[in-house]
């Protein structure tokens, strides 16, 4: 069984190539703009309502800056902008308007996120350590930038956020934090948590948390996949991979 060491060492101890700069990676991901254009919404729809209900729960769990906008739209006040359409004026995030192209799938995928964020058993700190680590390993600008803001709200400071970019072998982590980060690296590299890392985790996490951790990492790797692939643009204060 192999273990991930740092961003510089990959599977079987092979040296990883030097990653591109944050600006280069962001330019590569965003390209010439979204591959699928966000839908323009002329009025309420069942698909939009279903997604907004879910997004409201996610935003509440994360204390997101977007929650007031979603709540306003759900309560029927979304068309209060001068042009009469909150969605067209950018009041609703591009991720919502893009994923409305496949609302049933997005709703189902968001339900997993709600379970992990609103009803999860991992502590907010453990959750955000794992989410940030997988977001960095996937070099996902949207995911990384959003969760830097979330992580700060749960007490992860700028020094720790920067240290997450260098991985579990960086000095300064507690044994528990190091194991959370190492487990994320191992799942990314080997689709498996090693016995050594598992034993460290099992000393502090209960059975439900041990089950939840790999599902959390998988969920946010999936999120990185579709955000990167669809080239969803950064919005509303998200500065992507440069965020600390």
Residue 150 has pLDDT above 90, yes or no: yes
pLDDT digits 0-9 by tens, 172-207:
999 999 999 999 999 999 999 999 999 999 999 999
Q: Which has more pLDDT, 76 or 144? A: 144
Q: What is the pLDDT of residue 71?
A: 78
Residues 91-101: pLDDT tens digits? 788 899 999 99
Average pLDDT over residues 145-153: 97
Q: CA 64, 70, 72, 74: dihedral to nearest 10 degrees?
A: -140
CA distance 123 to 205: 10
Least confident interval from 34-43, 69-78, 181-190: 69-78
Tell me what pLDDT residue 43 has.
Answer: 66
pLDDT in tens, 75-127: 776 544 444 444 444 478 889 999 999 999 999 999 999 999 999 999 999 99
Calpha distance 213→225 (Å, rounded): 19
Residue 14, pLDDT score: 61
- Judge whether residue 5 has pLDDT over 90: no
**Alpha carbon of 1 to those of 49, 145, 194, 195, 198: distances in Å?**
46, 32, 7, 9, 13
Question: Per CATH, the architecture of 122-242 is what?
Answer: Up-down Bundle (1.20)
What pLDDT score was predicted for residue 54? 92
Q: What is the pLDDT of residue 36?
A: 96
Cα–Cα distance for residue pair 141/124, rounded to 1 Å: 21
Q: Is the pLDDT of residue 1 over 90?
A: no
Number of H helices, E strands in the chain: 11, 0
The answer to whether the beta carbons of residues 128 and 156 sit under 8 Å apart is yes
Predicted confidence (pLDDT) per residue in 225-238, tens digit: 999 999 999 988 89
Rounded to an integer, the average pLDDT of 222-226 is 98
Give the pLDDT confidence score for residue 4 in this predicted structure: 41
| Residue 15: strand, helix, or coil | strand
Mean pLDDT calculated for residue range 49-74: 85
Mean of the per-residue pLDDT values of the chain: 88
Residue partners of 182: CB distance under 8 A and separation at least 6: 3, 4, 168, 197
Instruction: Give the domain ranges of the chain.
Output: 46-118, 122-242
CA angle, residues 24, 25, 27, in degrees to nearest 5: 65
């Amino acid at each position: 069984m192999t273990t991930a060491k740092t961003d510089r060492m990959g599977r079987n101890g092979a040296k990883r190539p030097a990653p591109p700069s944050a600006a280069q990676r962001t330019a590569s991901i965003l390209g010439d703009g979204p591959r699928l254009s966000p839908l323009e919404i002329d009025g309420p729809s069942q698909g939009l309502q279903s997604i907004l209900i879910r997004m409201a729960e996610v935003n509440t769990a994360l204390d997101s800056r977007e929650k007031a906008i979603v709540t306003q739209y759900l309560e029927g006040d979304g068309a209060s902008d001068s042009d009469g359409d909150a969605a067209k004026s950018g009041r609703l995030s591009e991720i919502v308007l893009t994923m409305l192209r496949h609302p049933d799938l997005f709703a189902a995928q968001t339900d997993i996120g709600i379970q992990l964020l609103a009803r999860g058993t991992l502590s907010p700190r453990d959750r955000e350590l794992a989410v940030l680590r997988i977001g960095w390993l996937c070099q996902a600008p949207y995911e990384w930038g959003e969760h830097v803001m979330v992580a700060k709200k749960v007490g992860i400071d700028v020094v720790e956020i920067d240290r997450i970019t260098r991985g579990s072998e960086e000095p300064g982590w507690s044994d528990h934090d190091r194991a959370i980060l190492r487990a994320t690296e191992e799942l990314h590299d080997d689709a498996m948590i090693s016995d050594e890392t598992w034993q460290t985790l099992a000393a502090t996490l209960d059975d439900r948390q041990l089950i939840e951790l790999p599902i959390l990492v998988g969920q946010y790797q999936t999120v990185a996949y579709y955000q990167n692939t669809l080239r969803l643009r950064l919005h509303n204060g998200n500065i992507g991979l440069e965020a600390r």
